[in-house]
């Protein structure tokens, strides 16, 4: 007979014992794979990427465990303040942001350089989870209940799209829509919105995408639909990625033996296209292994969400895993030409400090949800409400 623990662990030792160590191990495996690939694409060198990634991974893992120790009441209390801070940081990008490769997405705070859009992905889920925890169930599908979350999603999306960062904007919107759906939105409402959306897409098609999108965005659409379009320009990255990914065959060329990455043919190999370098060195088997680890991570998180009694923890966990799944889906789809190039990294494997920290803090919240899955904070509970 199964025994269910109804009490919530209070002391540090009890919480550490309750950690989902399977999930921690799976995340560590991805991080180690990232270190190995960054070491390889640098020609067998710890600099400039692998060592930094290892340090950030270690800091992120410690932060993940620390975050998991806090009770749900604390995270409910700071949900709205964290969202406001993330929104302010996005405004600072517009005012004093740092440009890299023509995109103004970073804020230089002296010793650290932050990408506020990555922080906002987590802040958005926190704010929406708090909102729906406090919202009576009968108001979820009402217009008055729907306007606030649309504003919560729309404000950062409007700021991020101007950076420009269409990929993150779409990811943010998709995450917000997933949270609203999981909060209990009526299927009739979803069908109506879907119908309006399809009508809008038909209207856009008739009007012409070139009259709506910027020129560089239209070039990405043309590159996606026609591999022969501008092969030495906008299509160079996607075409080289496909060559690299396909050259690995079933088992790959071997660690440190990837010619495309070692000879510099693969662009942005440490960030957006790291999966293609992995495919070249470890082949189909290596690529499927990474996908399998990600699938197990998502399955663990979904089971944690289902086990939570609190609406806040349940929605928070589903929202974070929806964000994570979007990262993986968009990156893999992009490098395999199933999706247009939008510049989304592969979590814990691609190089990038803010992304690694944001992802691991998010999983810290999920681990905390597992520890406190039997907790039921009342509506309006929290440090600030």
* Nearest-angstrom CA–CA distance, 368 and 365: 5
Nearest to 173 by CA among 191, 149, 194, 196: 149
The predicted-structure confidence for 335-355, as pLDDT tens digits, reads as follows 888 887 777 889 999 988 788
Give the least confident one: 212-216, 294-298, 335-339, 346-350. Answer: 212-216
In a domain, 5, yes or no: no
In a domain, 233, yes or no: yes
In a domain, 49, yes or no: yes
In a domain, 111, yes or no: yes
* Nearest-angstrom CA–CA distance, 384 and 80: 9
With beta carbons less than 8 A apart as the criterion, state whether 234 and 220 touch. Answer: yes
pLDDT at 297: 96
Query: What's the whole-number average pLDDT of the chain?
Result: 82
What is the SS3 assignment for 114? strand
Buried b (16+ CB within 10 A) or exposed e, 237-249: bbebbeebbebbe
In a domain, 385, yes or no: no
In a domain, 42, yes or no: yes
CA distances (Å), 157 to each of 105, 171, 345, in order?
A: 13, 9, 18
pLDDT at 206: 44
What is the SS3 assignment for 376? coil
Q: Which of 10-24, 191-205, 349-363 has the highest mean pLDDT?
A: 349-363
Q: In this model, does residue 24 exceed pLDDT 70?
A: yes
Containing structural domain, residue 152: 12-371
Number of domains in the chain: 1
pLDDT at 189: 58
In a domain, 383, yes or no: no
String of DSSP letters for 243-260: HHHHHTTTT-S-TT--HH
pLDDT at 3: 35
With beta carbons less than 8 A apart as the criterion, state whether 87 and 154 touch. Answer: no
In a domain, 379, yes or no: no
With beta carbons less than 8 A apart as the criterion, state whether 272 and 244 touch. Answer: no
CA distances (Å), 282 to each of 33, 243, 246, 257, in order?
A: 11, 14, 11, 10
């Amino acid at each position: 007979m199964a025994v269910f623990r109804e009490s919530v662990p209070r002391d540090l030792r009890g919480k550490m014992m309750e950690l989902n160590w399977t999930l921690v191990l799976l995340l560590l495996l991805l991080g180690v794979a990232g270190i190995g690939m960054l070491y390889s694409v640098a020609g067998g060198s710890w600099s400039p990427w692998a060592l930094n990634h290892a340090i950030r991974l270690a800091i992120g893992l410690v932060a993940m465990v620390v975050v998991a120790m806090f009770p749900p009441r604390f995270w409910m209390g700071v949900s709205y303040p964290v969202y406001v801070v993330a929104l302010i940081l996005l405004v600072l990008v517009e005012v004093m942001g740092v440009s890299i490769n023509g995109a103004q997405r970073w804020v230089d705070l002296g010793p650290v350089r932050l990408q506020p859009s990555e922080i906002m992905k987590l802040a958005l889920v926190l704010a929406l989870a708090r909102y729906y925890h406090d919202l009576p169930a009968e108001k979820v599908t009402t217009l008055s209940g729907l306007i606030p979350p649309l504003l919560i999603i729309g404000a950062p999306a409007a700021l991020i799209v101007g950076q420009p960062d269409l990929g993150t904007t779409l990811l943010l919107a998709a995450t917000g829509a997933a949270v609203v759906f999981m909060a209990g939105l009526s299927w009739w409402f979803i069908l109506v919105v879907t119908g309006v959306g399809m009508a809008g897409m038909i209207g856009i098609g008739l009007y012409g995408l070139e009259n709506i999108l910027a020129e560089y965005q239209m070039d990405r659409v043309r590159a996606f639909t026609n591999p022969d379009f501008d092969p030495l320009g906008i299509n160079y990255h996607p075409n080289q990625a496909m060559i690299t990914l396909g050259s690995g065959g079933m088992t790959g060329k071997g660690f440190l033996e990837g010619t495309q990455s070692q000879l510099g043919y693969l662009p942005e190999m440490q960030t957006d296209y790291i999966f293609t370098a992995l495919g070249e060195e470890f082949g189909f088997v290596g690529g499927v292994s990474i996908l399998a680890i990600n699938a197990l991570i998502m399955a663990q998180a979904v089971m944690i969400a289902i086990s939570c009694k609190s609406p806040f923890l349940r929605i928070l966990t589903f929202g974070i895993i929806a964000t994570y799944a979007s990262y993986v889906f968009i990156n893999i789809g992009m490098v395999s030409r199933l999706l247009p190039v939008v510049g989304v990294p592969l979590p814990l494997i691609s190089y990038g400090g803010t992304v690694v920290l944001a992802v691991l803090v998010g999983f810290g919240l999920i681990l905390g949800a597992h520890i406190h899955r039997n907790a039921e904070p009342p509506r309006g509970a929290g440090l600030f409400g």
